[in-house]
Structure 1
């Protein structure tokens, strides 16, 4: 078996046909068919079955493809490490962020990374469900992740970057009358815009409400922080989000809460990570993470961000 065969099998699974896979790989169709048949003969199994929707992986094929994806990504990382020079780095870097974390900081760090290594291919996706993030990590798909809390299972090393303070987002009239800090009990009577069941952000809100013996009505559930903020701005209800996840122009509607709510932001990297991951980690450390307070005049966020002392030399946390 070869990495090329693994890549061809993954391309067929994604495209649903040999023809489309060959086009995406920029190779001749017979070459893809030959490699897949050779792989099936060597394994002694059928990886794909033909349906009206095209080629789909069999049960054993799905299991094989999960491990094949890990192998392909590992090979690409090894190739990138071997080719990395003083000013040159290429290959693929996959970054996953827990929804709501690093919204302001990650784009700046990634832009700096791209300027430094223009041949590096970067893929970023945002994931609401921490269980899905863990599944991707165990498959070896994620090179660097941003998560709220410690790393589990020893697969990754965690580096504490800072802490995200959560703010409540109010409607325009509510914000005009609100104090610089809002007690949770004051808004518990309002309908709440919450996040999907199982998401990390809804887990934070669920714990906050439970710890403060509050049970407000839920008017809507959404999958994105931007949606929650915009709906709150239109007066549908209130919501609780990380301060850095508030879109520009909506800061005046936000207030920190009493008791304060915050979440540690941790960069998770694989032990023995390559130069791309370590370069991004260094850039993330240079970003500002900790929000210190509000303007004090009822105008909302003062954009007063500083890096806490612990992020200067962020040691691995578990």
Structure 2
């Protein structure tokens, strides 16, 4: 039965697994900003790191399995390392708890399909964490499309560049740039255009750090897109800008163009004889996307509370990985790859 929240009703009892930066952000948002939720407990393989959450009354664990065994936990947020997602999602679904998980679900389609089957079999809600859909700037770009202000989309351009590369230990387990970085942008391209991507062509180089190349990965990439309606697009990624976090989107259509630019710490411009100057964009995802991180977990809690389908589904997560696999294949074979080739 659908539930409507009011202050007299019970809250959704939530646990967060993984107390890295993302897990701590989700924990604080659940504890302090979402009235429908109660944060019961958190876990991390390092109990010292779990202690950093610093929320009074929240129980700490160094083994997430103990949390899954608790009858009072109704929903679980998975913010553990990429290589653990597949197994933890399966175990959480079998424990009968609704799931929010950071991308990706897994790194192969076979594994993703098995995960989604287990989720369906156990009747739990499942949402994938593509936070950029919930960024106020990008949401406004999407609204211009849905309100008809730019007409039919013709070109979608996305720039997504990090201020510096992640540490090498992370790069060893993240799946590569197409699965770690471009995957967000594939989802954004689908979200902003409201069209499916049918073909990708990817190229790239190692220009930032030769150690990234030694891992068999790239640090600088360009991907061209073709959409089902004939529209085209591009995604460019870099592991290092040298200035800050560079996050921009553009949707050009038959009647207009909507552009989402970088967020800056302020709107001040200084004009002097040398030109007009602004502060550099906000430094990284923690600074750039605080409202997006809140928005995604808030949407998940609302979906659980109101017994609705979450706005970013397991199929959305699967499609983003299909596109990442297509990009990897395109790079390796130096040719455009139709998405239908992947599955």
TM-score over 0.5 (shorter chain):
no
Name the TM-score, length of structure 1 as normaliser.
0.32
Q: TM-score, normalised by structure 2?
A: 0.30
Q: Which entry has the higher C-alpha Rg, 1 or 2?
A: 1
